Amino acid sequence: MPDPNPQALDFLLTRRSRPAKTLTAPVPSREELLPLLTAALRVPDHGKLEPWRLIVLEKPALARLAARVPARAEALGIDEGKRDKAVAQFRDADLAVAVISAPKQSDKVPRIEQVQSAACVCLSLLNAALAAGWGANWLTGWPSHDPEFCREGLGLAEGESVAGLIHIGTETVAAPERPRPDVMALTEWRSA
């Protein structure tokens, strides 16, 4: 017989990300962040490979990353609007956690499952932050997909990539509700 947890289910049915640009200080302290990071790592991890790692980016680190964006944008031919948006994502943030996908060599666990596990870390961290009362948002953007930016700015090794940047802070503006997917339109039921 199931042992339901109605509060957890209600949270999942009503959760919503908060726009990163509406998040500000205060942000979780290291002590407040640790249980959120611990919860984030309780994800499916086939083979117990731990194919991910976390980089906590505090304000000075985010400012350093923001300063690196213009040169990479110029080198890649990124237009001014996308460049400015990327600069703002780092410059205006007070705290973000970079979830790094770090697949391990395995004959048993395919790389795609390891990458998906890192995505699960992103969602678990997002939900843990929201459940703890913080505003949170999962972002990426072109710098997160640029190998040189990631190598030089975040210290990523060969084969590693950014699964997500989880911005966490205090919500300054209530996030508007938005339309949600129609579960019946997206679900197929099969009984044979």
Extract the annotated binding site for FMN.
15-17, 42, 46, 138-140
Residue identified by tokens 């680190």 is 61
| Interatomic CA distance for residues 97 and 88, integer angstroms | 16
HSE at residue 121, side-chain half, CA atoms within 13 A, is 26
Q: In a 3-state reduction of DSSP, which class is residue 180?
A: coil
Closest CA to 86 of 102, 71, 105, 108: 71
Amino acid type, 112? I
Tell me the binding residues.
15-17, 42, 46, 138-140
The CA-based angle 57-63-65, given to 5 degrees, is: 75
